[in-house]
Amino acid sequence: MTAPAIVATDVTRTYELDGLSVPALRGVSLTVAAGDYVAIVGASGSGKSTLMHLLGGLDRPTGGTLLIGGQDVSRLSPTEMAHLRNTTIGFVFQSFHLLSRTTAQDNVGLPLVYRGAGRRERRARAAAMLDRVGLAHRMTHRPNQMSGGEQQRVAIARALVTGPSVLLADEPTGNLDSTTGQAVLALLESLNADGVAVVLVTHDREVAARAHRQIVMRDGLIA
């Protein structure tokens, strides 16, 4: 059996706000296996966003241990964390987060910039990825020339271009109508079938129900 992509053991995260300690996570243990399909659900303020930031290596736990791709994030410098995000994690956001003045192809190629790939290589790999998400005909379009569903598929192609082991999707259908949302979910599921672990953060029960397993967050703990 392949090593798990992410292992969290008794992870806590406390924010310091004006001298007050606000606990967002109060001891969460969780394993994302290779090829897993997990939904994290919970009301807003339940700590699911905080958990997703931790799982994606954007933030560090205050306590407990967190292994991403086998590496203990508490021992990594900001530069090493950046490298970890670049190589193991792919992010998909609710609001897409595409660069507005940049073509679909160059948006998808962006993560490769930070591993020193030349423009030709980036464009070739981005083209292949856009083809994979069914947007081969949108290569030179800018975000404002595309529909919401297309933009989200560009964002998914960008998340995939580095060949990550985990896709972290934060409310990926939140800004889309239900038909488009279904198509995006179907795309994520087909990627999952190809072996990429998918972690879906959502408050939509129907969306969550499609995952292999659900983790329900409440008050900073797994319920």
Query: Which positions lie near another protein, rule CB under 8 A?
Result: 53, 56, 58-59, 78-79, 82-83, 85-87, 91, 93, 97, 99, 101, 110-111, 113-116, 118-119, 158, 162
Q: Are strands 221-222 and 213-218 parallel, antiparallel or unpaired?
A: antiparallel
* Shortest Cβ 143–another protein spacing (Å): 12
DSSP-based three-state secondary structure for 200 = strand
- Of residues 36 and 59, the one with the C-beta less far from another protein: 59
Closest to another protein by CB, 103 or 192? 103
Tokens standing for residue 8: 């969290």
- By the 8 A CB rule, do 54 and 14 touch? no
Closer residue to another protein in complex, CB, 33/128: 128
Distance CA 57, CA 59 (A): 5
Residue 18 or 179 with smaller CB distance to another protein:
18
Query: Which residue, 95 or 178, is less far from another protein as judged by CB?
Result: 95
Least separation in angstroms between residue 114's CB and another protein is 4
Are 197 and 33 in contact by the 8 Å Cβ rule? The answer is yes
Q: Which is nearer to another protein, 99 or 193 (CB)?
A: 99
Q: Rounded to the nearest whole angstrom, what is the least distance from the CB of residue 189 to another protein in the complex?
A: 23
Beta bridge partners of 9: 65
Burial class (CB in 10 A: 0-12, 13-18, 19+), 181: buried
CB of 169 to another protein, least distance (A): 13
Strand order in the sheet with 6-17: 20-32, 6-17, 63-68, 71-72
- Closest separation between CB of residue 162 and another protein, Å? 7
Nearest by Cα to 8 from 57, 55, 74: 55
CA distance 89 to 102: 22
CB 134 within 8 A of CB 146: no
Q: Could you tell me the smallest distance in angstroms from the CB atom of residue 88 to another protein?
A: 10
